[in-house]
Structure 1
Amino acid sequence: MGVASLSGANGLALAQQDYPSRPVRVIVPFAPGGQTDVVARLIAQRLSDKLGKQFYVENAAGAGGNIGVGRAAQAAPDGYTIVFIDSIAFAANPSLYAKVPYDPVADFDAVAIGATTMQVLAVNPSVPARTVQELVALIRAEPGKYSYSSAGVGTGAHLTGELFKSVLKLDMLHVPYGGGGPAIAAAIAGHTQISFGSAAATISQHQEGTLVALAVGGKARLKGLPNVPTFLEAGYDVVCEAMVGLLAPAKTPKDIIALLNKEVAAVVAMPEVRDRLATLGFEVSSPSPEEFGAVLKAELPKWADVIRTAGIKTAQ
């Protein structure tokens, strides 16, 4: 990420002690009601309460998040415009689209992670596999027979499915749908045998028995699916964590970034916030800005390789 610098200006540092002195624009580059929007609004409201100035959400949806992220990249680096991102979309879009209106490294400073979720591999109960190893054996025994549903081309679910295919060298068909709900419904109905879906959508279906979750994409197990192993535990190098993270335009003063990082960590540690996030399939973590920035940098080549290998193209 860009390096936030405060170039020896003690007067500027002192001025930032009054931050925020006016409302702060919180850009969400997706439509209202989606998971990034829900997390952003939950955190923005608490930041408003804690810091005494309104953190107001501005939805700027379109082009897979590129419009809103591009708008944030052009904002003044003064702490009064921040943007919540989906880390997979943020890292993948420069490879999915011919042109994006931002440089993911040079144009932003990492601030904080609001919450982390992960993709879940699940199957229709009719599939005779109750472990991911059994599913892999089925797919290898009959190449081309099995298909998986996703929320659409280039989504986190699609990219996770292609990562799974690539790492294990599997032959299975991708069937994109117009959102996570229809994709899950397709797997439940048996139109596809396999689903890659959000934790929030899959947990309830697994509990009801309409889908069987076989593996989760995090580095650790999901609290809502404590008996379902990670891909790593199953022996497969498949990690697909989506961070709803907070970025600021590059060269935002370091003390503002430090303050926001501290306050976001305090917000997500609140029991009512943590519990609400858990119901949405999110886990809470509070790394430093530098740690978050390093994770984002590592995501860029990872998803670029998946997109290149799978030959994924967007309509734009």
Structure 2
Amino acid sequence: MTHAYHGVPARAIPRRPIPTPRGCATTSALTSALSLALTALVATMAPGAAMAADAASYPTKPIRLVVPFPAGGSTDAVARLIGEKLSQSMGQQVVVDNRPGAAGNIGTDQVAKAAPDGYTLALTTSGPLANNKYLYKQMPFDADKDLAPVVLVGEIPLVIVSTDKTPAASLKEFMALAKSAPGKYSVGNPGKGTIGHLAFELWRHNAKVDLLGVPYKGDTPAMADLMGGSIHAIIAPITAFIPQIQGGKMRGLAVTSAKRFAGLPDIPTAREQGVDIDASVWFAVAGPAGMPRPVVDKLNKEINAILSSPEARAKLEQYGAIVGGGSPDKLGSLMRDESAKWKQVVETANIALD
């Protein structure tokens, strides 16, 4: 077969590839590389963008606020107030769910194991957040690792009270009596492992005084024995004792806060009287570890606004609480500091609840 071009056979004509314009191969490779880089960048940014979008629209459904104590107590009452105000400000219902048991561990554990999306929160106390892990050998969660601090709600100082049956008008005088008769003077507390019990052990250790500790099942039986003269004093959260002190039935020897309690300003602090006791029960909002920081910050801002309202302050003061507030990091620092302090007390006094 002869090609029509100059009569040259077809097989003799070299089949040269069509030349690529200068730079096309390089441009194609560069385009491919840029495409891959852009895809990687979008993939990297996507979680952050989604997180920001979620925080901006949060909440889009009801929020569960777990209270790990029975209904009717001070923690429950404060939780219901915060839940009501959050429902109004955030546009979604906040449902308070009481899950009592094991000194607050059961309900707090449910929150620790929940999805970290901001829709399951806890209003819990210093026990589950700082103290309990040293009191219980089998803890279902680790507060440091499994919970995200949101905001401190309030602190209730402890008070040391007696009656006129004990010839001491102040803690300083009570200490003089105790040192004059080692082992004679008894101090009740609301129960083994409670903050009253831990504060008693801290008091006894720091002051190097021989006092007899008497644990009760709550404030009421301790108050009955104090009024009857069976014990000489009680150390416990101030809430239940405010009416008794105001009515003159009991005598406040000292409060264990850094400053005097505004509701009973005539009672000096323990430190004013030379006794190093700093103890309070505090309560806070926390969520599961891993909650997006924008969601944590949004909750923190809303709850801080609630705590600054006259209604919230009045409710907290009704229960003998000092209003909290502040950043999530402030609460995280409190959890760590309190945990370290009470760890030493629990180990020194050899306290165990299981």
Give the TM-score normalised by structure 2.
Answer: 0.84
CA distance in structure 2 between the aligned counterparts of 1:246 and 1:224, rounded to whole angstroms: 24
The match for 2:195 is 156
SS in 1 for 2:145: coil
The match for 2:173 is 134
1:36, distance to aligned residue in structure 2 (A)? 1.6
1:43 aligns with 2:47: no
1:235, distance to aligned residue in structure 2 (A)? 2.5
The match for 2:62 is 23
Question: Identity over aligned residues, as a percent?
Answer: 37
CA distance in structure 1 between the aligned counterparts of 2:275 and 2:334, rounded to whole angstroms: 20
Matches for 1:231-250 after TM superposition, within 5 Å:
231-250=270-289
CA offsets 1:235-273 (integer angstroms, 9 cap, x no match): 222111221101111110111111111111111211122
Letter in 1 for 2:310: P
Letter in 2 for 1:21: T
Where does the alignment leave 5 or more consecutive residues of structure 2 unmatched?
A: 1-44
Select which of 66, 70, 94 maps to 2:109. 70
1:221 aligns with 2:277: no
The match for 1:313 is 352
SS in 1 for 2:281: strand
The match for 1:90 is 129
CA distance in structure 1 between the aligned counterparts of 2:227 and 2:187, rounded to whole angstroms: 11
1:154, distance to aligned residue in structure 2 (A)? 0.6
Q: Flag the structure with higher helix content.
A: 2
The match for 1:251 is 290
1:79 aligns with 2:124: no
Structure of greater relative contact order (alpha carbons < 8 Å, 6+ residues apart):
1
CA offsets 1:100-128 (integer angstroms, 9 cap, x no match): 11111111111011121111111122211
Max Rg structure = 2
Letter in 1 for 2:311: E
Letter in 2 for 1:296: M
1:125 aligns with 2:125: no
Letter in 1 for 2:186: S
Q: Is the 8 A contact 1:162 1:310 kept in 2?
A: yes
Q: Is the 8 A contact 2:168 2:174 kept in 1?
A: yes
Q: Is the 8 A contact 1:151 1:176 kept in 2?
A: yes
RMSD between aligned alpha carbons? 1.5
CA distance in structure 2 between the aligned counterparts of 1:183 and 1:135, rounded to whole angstroms: 18
CA distance in structure 1 between the aligned counterparts of 2:100 and 2:238, rounded to whole angstroms: 23
Per the alignment, do residues 174 and 7 of structure 1 end up closer, same or farther by CA in structure 2, a change over 3 Å counting?
farther
**What is the count of residue pairs matched by the alignment?**
310
4+ aligned runs moved over 4 Å, structure 1: none
CA offsets 1:183-232 (integer angstroms, 9 cap, x no match): 22222222211111221111211111111111111111111110111122
Q: Is the 8 A contact 2:108 2:128 kept in 1?
A: no
Q: Which moved more, 1:46-55 or 1:230-239?
A: 230-239
CA offsets 1:49-90 (integer angstroms, 9 cap, x no match): 111111111111111111111111100110001111111453
CA distance in structure 1 between the aligned counterparts of 2:184 and 2:165, rounded to whole angstroms: 14
Q: Which moved more, 1:155-164 or 1:86-95?
A: 86-95
1:176 aligns with 2:232: no
Select which of 143, 149, 153 maps to 1:110. 149
1:8, distance to aligned residue in structure 2 (A)? 6.1
CA distance in structure 2 between the aligned counterparts of 1:100 and 1:7, rounded to whole angstroms: 37
Where does the alignment leave 5 or more consecutive residues of structure 1 unmatched?
A: 1-5
